[in-house]
Amino acid sequence: MRNLTLFAILSLFVFSCQVKFVSDYDASIHQQIIQTADRVERMYTRMLMDEAARPYSVQLENYVEVETQLRSLLRQNQARDKGEGAVKICQNALEMWTKYRLEHEEKGVLGEMTMELYRENLSAMFQAMEVEENAKKIAQAKEEKP
Amino acid sequence: MNFDLKETAEAMQLAFKGAVGEHWKDASGLVGQMLKGYERRMLLLAKAVAAGEIELDEVPGHLDDQRLIWEAQMEAIKTLSKAIAQKAVNAALDVLYTALKNIR
């Protein structure tokens, strides 16, 4: 009887001691990151390949859509428990995206080297976002028993 | 009572190491990728300056973009490290739980 009580107390202790340092992995957020990154990649690649696609007015719809997605990702991450890392990445991505949009709006057309640089910068930002979300899968994965 | 503290502690340590081991290599590889990306971006910035697309007085603003990227990448690595730690600690706690279940 004493052993049973001891077992119950210890079990409760161990159960309550399962640690949680990161938020749970969210497949829909991961998918949204990939889709937004692809849209940005497509937009810059098209502008690099097709001069007619370069004016700001032609890309306005892409700017609206990507900014909406980035704001949506920021909002979703702000609502998650232990999601501060993802929030910071989204804030930085949004800051960069807005800066590039305003520059494009002001100049009308961006130079080729500048477009290549911005495509690479944004790609690095989305990579960070993807790595951050993907890492949460590791936390949830159980070791395979031999 | 069937509980060997030394054996359990060793098993917990093994579980912890096992959970960290494989992912630690991924994390180091990621840092290498990030450094290569930084090199590529700095080269593109230099080319844009050389081509006259970016003026010298605009360079600090572009270096600030690199700060934003590094901050984001550091956050990603931080989360990755925390996720690895979470998996490792919980694997060790699972071993402890299993050992406690065998107390009779």
Q: What is the pLDDT of residue A19?
A: 87
Q: What is the pLDDT of residue B100?
A: 79
Q: Which residues contact A45 (CB under 8 A, 6 or more apart)?
A: A119
Read off the pLDDT of each residue in A82-96 and give the average, rounded to a whole number.
96
Q: What is the pLDDT of residue A4?
A: 64
Q: What percentage of residues in chain A have a pLDDT greater than 70?
A: 85
Q: Where are the beta strands (DSSP E) in A1-146?
A: none
Q: What is the pLDDT of residue A141?
A: 74
Tell me which DSSP letter residue A22 carries: S
Cβ–Cβ of A22/B82 closer than 8 Å? Answer: yes
Cβ–Cβ of B1/A116 closer than 8 Å? Answer: no
- Six token digits for residue A3: 């052993």
- What are the pLDDT digits (tens) for B28-56? 788 889 999 999 999 999 999 999 999 99
Say if residue A144's pLDDT is above 60. Answer: no
Torsion angle of the four alpha carbons A144, B2, B3, B6, in this order, in degrees rounded to the nearest 10: -90
Give contacts of A135 with chain B, Cβ < 8 Å. Answer: 76, 79-80, 82-84
Give the integer Cα–Cα distance in Å for A6 and B2: 13
pTM for the predicted model, two decimal places: 0.85
Strand, coil or helix: B104: coil
Residue A146 binned pLDDT confidence (cut-offs 50, 70, 90): very low
Give contacts of A136 with chain B, Cβ < 8 Å. Answer: 79, 83
Say if residue B14's pLDDT is above 50. Answer: yes
- Closest approach of chain A CAs to the CA of B6, in angstroms? 17
Read off the pLDDT of each residue in A90-104 and give the average, rounded to a whole number.
98
A3, A92, A115: best to mutate for the B interface, most B CBs within 10 A: A92
- What are the pLDDT digits (tens) for A14-24? 556 688 999 99
Helix axes A27-49, A56-78, angle to 10 degrees: 160
Give the integer Cα–Cα distance in Å for A137 and B80: 10
Q: Which tops the pLDDT comparison, B88 or B14?
A: B88
Q: Which tops the pLDDT comparison, A60 or A146?
A: A60
Q: What is the pLDDT of residue A6?
A: 64
Say if residue A145's pLDDT is above 50. Answer: no
Q: Does A117 touch chain B if contact means CB atoms closer than 8 Å?
A: yes
